[in-house]
Amino acid sequence: MDKLSVLAEFEKIAVRENLEDDAFKLFLLLLVYYDSEKQYGEISRGVIMTSLGKFFPLALLSRAFRRLAALGLIEIVLPPHGKVAKKDSIMIYRIPLATTVRG
């Protein structure tokens, strides 16, 4: 997986779908933590909050995750049912573009 190619494809989708800034930033952060060899990423809510802002509301985070998932840009593996992790638990996710885009 070439992250720059994934980023280029993501940018096209983000512009076409008028993706909100918060969802855009979240995707970039998830892409950074994505492990192409394992084909999934792991990130803690603490890392997300530190990176996106200590006062990034949970409702906004949840909405950004749902928007990315609805566009098929991410798949939440854990926790199930698209729920945002509580406290500093680990979230496991996939980025479908990472397996379909070739760089």
Question: Which position has the token pair 């192409």?
Answer: 36
| Nearest residue to 91 (alpha-carbon basis) of 53, 68, 7, 12 | 68
Closest CA relative to residue 34, chosen from 70, 77, 64: 77
Residue-wise pLDDT tens digits, 67-83 = 999 999 999 988 655 55
Q: 45: domain range? A: 3-99
Q: Using 50, 70 and 90 to split pLDDT, how confident is the model at 25?
A: very high
Taking all residues of the chain, what is their mean pLDDT, rounded to a whole number? 88
> Could you tell me the CATH number of the domain that includes residue 84?
1.10.10
Yes or no: say if 41 and 80 are a contact pair by the CB < 8 Å rule: no
Number of separate domains in the chain: 1
Residues 45-67 pLDDT 10s = 889 988 988 777 888 888 999 99
Which amino acid does the sequence have at 89? Answer: S
